Copies of this chain bind each other. A is one copy, B any other.
């Protein structure tokens, strides 16, 4: 296996080459007195393919072309400046958030952005354009503003300082009641583990219960707190960890259309409007431990009535979401949830005692991962 530094150096070369290639193409057209243009994949649900064998929402072939004209002059310049910023970030071994990039543009003279929404759009375009070249947002050195999730359990993370080459060894069994907080960029991390699976948990409260009672010790696993829809950093971390250590990923979320179609589906196959990056960020090997609609019956869980917005979300998913259209057991599960008219939170298991979840529910479930929803 290559060292993290060698791998990073290789990726950096790929990134700079891709940027230089696109720029050279534009330059050539200008020299030939042909109007220069840049092409981006269209980013919308309508331009998405889902092949379960590949395991994630892929961006389709539809492209939009930005040709240099009087009206596009500013956006065209901004796109090139954004590419130049990315190249500079790679060369200085730095990174920028969307906000950072917006404020950097204040030095771009007439090409500066007036609103962050404009600069976000251009950054998304640039990301989409280079995703076609197999270059991820992280390689372009754009990092999310959001926090990563928290990690505890049988895992050692190796974090190589890319300047000094010093390696920090982070033992996730050694944080007491605390946890390891995932950084915004995870590409340079490597892992060592004897765990049997990764458990991705929706709520901070449930994560804290499993962590404080060292559930990972008994079950030989790695606990990840997603705290709602997992951030890109969290998804990429789970994906890289699962890929490199060949670990199955089990999701443990609330039984409601949001937990199922937003949190779980985003974790597993990615999202529609960010389809150009799903190949890097989704976790196709994930399966759904619970809470399932059937669990509500089997465990006599306290429920809340489904709200109108829940029902609408579930019906939309069955009708329009390629993921639920292809996975019949899921369409069935959502339909039975709509029929039951209720939802249940993962903490509803506390009805049977605060630690029922770790003494009974999870051990019983973990005996039959083959029965998990896809």
Contacts and interface: CB of A to CB of B under 8 A. Distances in A.
Interface of A: 94-97, 99-100, 103-104, 106-107, 143-148, 150, 157, 159-161, 168, 170, 174-185, 188-189, 203-205, 208-209, 211-212, 225, 227, 302, 345, 347-351, 354-355
A103 B347 contact: yes
Contacts of A209: 95, 100
A110 to B, nearest CB: 15
A203 B97 CA distance: 11
A145 B204 contact: yes
A175 B170 contact: yes
Contacts of A354: 94, 96, 100, 104
Nearest to A204: B147
Contact of A183 (B106, B148, B177, B350): B177
Nearest to A207: B147
Given A103-B351, A350-B104, A351-B107, A159 B147 contact: no
Q: Which 6 A-B pairs have the closest CB atoms?
A: A159-B176, A97-B205, A103-B350, A177-B183, A181-B181, A168-B176
A204 B184 contact: yes
Contacts of A351: 103-104, 106-107
A170 B180 CA distance: 10
A188 B177 CA distance: 10
Contact of A180 (B104, B143, B181): B181
A184 to B, nearest CB: 5
Contacts of A150: 147, 181
Nearest to A185: B177
Nearest to A104: B350
- Oligomeric state, in copies: 2
A179 B181 contact: yes
A176 B183 contact: yes
A174 B209 CA distance: 25
A104 B203 CA distance: 17
Nearest to A167: B176
Contacts of A148: 178
A355 B179 CA distance: 28
Nearest to A169: B174
B204 A177 contact: no
A160 B176 contact: yes
A91 B96 CA distance: 49
B183 A103 contact: no
Nearest to A161: B176
A157 B205 CA distance: 22
Nearest to A96: B354
Given A168-B175, A185-B177, A348 B103 contact: yes
A150 B175 CA distance: 13
A148 to B, nearest CB: 8
A180 B175 contact: yes
B347 A204 contact: no
B170 A205 contact: no
25 contacts: A95-B208, A95-B209, A97-B205, A97-B347, A99-B345, A100-B205, A103-B350, A103-B351, A106-B302, A106-B351, A107-B351, A143-B205, A143-B208, A144-B204, A144-B205, A148-B178, A150-B181, A159-B177, A161-B176, A168-B174, A168-B175, A168-B176, A170-B175, A177-B185, A180-B181
